[in-house]
Amino acid sequence: NAGVTQTPKFQVLKTGQSMTLQCAQDMNHEYMSWYRQDPGMGLRLIHYSVGAGITDQGEVPNGYNVSRSTTEDFPLRLLSAAPSQTSVYFCASSPYRAVTDTQYFGPGTRLTVL
């Protein structure tokens, strides 16, 4: 099993550009989520999904869109990048209930918005 994979590992964008961060898992997990990690702030939940076709907002959803067309994939879209979105982004998955099941994290995408 590859676990949770994320692409790209690094990305530099200019303000106003759009892009999609890819996340895939091969463990048949129902629950997937996106976090952003900023210094001194820990991880903050952006969006999450409890299964294909079902998504919901987390703590900091503004400026991001998600969709879940398959169990395996959960892409995160930045609609119009802003410098405030410079961060490290982590995707995670768990079998069902994120709050009791172990979450498995991808290696992260380091995004810089100029």
Partner 1 sequence: AQSVTQLDSQVPVFEEAPVELRCNYSSSVSVYLFWYVQYPNQGLQLLLKYLSGSTLVKGINGFEAEFNKSQTSFHLRKPSVHISDTAEYFCAVSVTSNDYKLSFGAGTTVTVRA
Residues of this chain that interact with partner 1 (CB under 8 A) are 4, 31, 33, 35, 40-45, 48, 50, 56, 58-59, 90, 92, 96-100, 102-108
Residue nearer to partner 1 on the CB measure, 47 or 78: 47
We find the least distance from the C-beta atom of residue 56 to partner 1, in angstroms, to be 8
Q: Which long-range contacts (CB under 8 A, 24 or more apart) does 76-79 make?
A: 76/20, 76/21, 76/23, 76/34, 76/46, 76/47, 77/18, 77/19, 77/20, 77/21, 78/13, 78/18, 78/19, 78/20, 78/21, 78/111, 79/18
We find the least distance from the C-beta atom of residue 105 to partner 1, in angstroms, to be 3
We find the least distance from the C-beta atom of residue 100 to partner 1, in angstroms, to be 6
